[in-house]
Amino acid sequence: MRLWVVALFAVALSASSPSAQTNSARTLDIYVIDVEGGNATLFVSPMGESLLIDSGNAGAGAVRDAERIVAAAKAAGLTSIDTLITTHWHGDHYGGMAELAARLPIRTFMDHGPNVQPASATDDFLQKVYPQLYAKGQHRVAKPGDKVPMAGLNVTIVSSAGEVLRTPLPGGGSPNPSCANFKPGQGNAEDPMSVGTYVTYGRFRTVHLGDLTKQKEFELLCPSNRIGVVDVFLGLHHGVDSSNSEVIHGLHPRVAIMNNGTRKGGPPDVMKVVFSSPGLEDLWQMHFSQLGGQEYTVPGLFIANLLDEPSTAMPIAPIAAPPPGPGAPPAPVHNGQAFWIKVSAKADGSFTVTNTRNQFSKTYAAVSK
């Protein structure tokens, strides 16, 4: 909740009708926070209610990422998080949760249910830490079609625990011509479990699908697209190629915001799918990706973060991701000052995206859809 909600409420009570000026200035604000190729996306409703999707990285990045989330929450005037959705049990999505909860109270914890990809650190967290965190609040297991209560918004779960929404959302249900081009991809056990969340504010629509894989994108968006079109497509699974099949073209996003790392996500195949998405006006990136190189990247103006040791020139050619394992060279590091990408959406469907590193912002006028 925001501190000023109480004050606002008092003002609303004292005035017979809030001015049109005040109404049109109210925005849904979305903070896409840099957690180094993990995820942390914060929604703050016009009335100051909050929804956080994921809490950044585990291990050495946990305190860094928790503090980056707190910085965005403070900028939004929050003193607590109303709902935290953990999309799935990978360390780049739940990793900063305990550190965040120690800094900012969290009221409701939502997830897809038990971990289906055994891993000692995760299973340990779920047995020993998580129950203590939600004991102070509420725990909900998400199912497709569930709503997250936020006044003035429609927040609907579209996927969870491998199940996807079967009934189209209002505006959804049309055939998706991109399904003809579907090619299945690789995956692990937890990514397909991801909680996907669809959010509308008036005529503004956005969706965050966690790390939902190509197969699940297909189940959700084919043969009919149960989501419909969105203004902003959030996350894109860090821009990695186990997600982002061509069926996402059915979402017809005007803007995509990719939560990629310096060497995670953004390879040529994914970039080609995103750039060829019909109606896409802009892609915004959390970082430059070495996997895309200059050949596949957006202008720096649309990239939120630099490196701790900035390179003098951006390599033109993409590099192949080094094979994972103890011998893999480290990705370029970014532990210093981090910047979020902010989306401010109005009920008429118009929205502004701002790169807080360079203050570049662009307003996308409302369109009929």
Instruction: Name the residues that contact Zn ion, by CB under 5 A.
Output: 34, 92, 211, 305, 334
Distance CA 153, CA 347 (A): 10
211/219 with CB nearer Zn ion: 211
Shortest Cβ 211–Zn ion spacing (Å):
4
Rg from Cα positions in the chain: 20
142/240 with CB nearer Zn ion: 240
34/111 with CB nearer Zn ion: 34
Distance CA 220, CA 239 (A): 19
Distance CA 127, CA 138 (A): 16
Shortest Cβ 286–Zn ion spacing (Å):
6
Long-range contacts of 114-118 (CB under 8 A, 24+ apart): 115/89, 115/190, 116/89, 116/189, 116/190, 116/193, 117/89, 117/90, 117/188, 117/189, 117/190
34/99 with CB nearer Zn ion: 34
230/303 with CB nearer Zn ion: 303
Question: Are the C-beta atoms of 167 and 145 separated by less than 8 Å?
Answer: yes
Shortest Cβ 104–Zn ion spacing (Å):
21
Q: Which residue, chain included where needed, has tokens 């291990």? A: 59
Shortest-Cβ-distance residue relative to Zn ion = 334
Exposure class string for 84-113: b at 16+ Cβ within 10 A, else e: bbbbbbbbbbbbbbbbbbeebebebbbbbe
Q: Which residue, chain included where needed, has tokens 């009920």? A: 347
Question: Are the C-beta atoms of 57 and 90 separated by less than 8 Å?
Answer: no
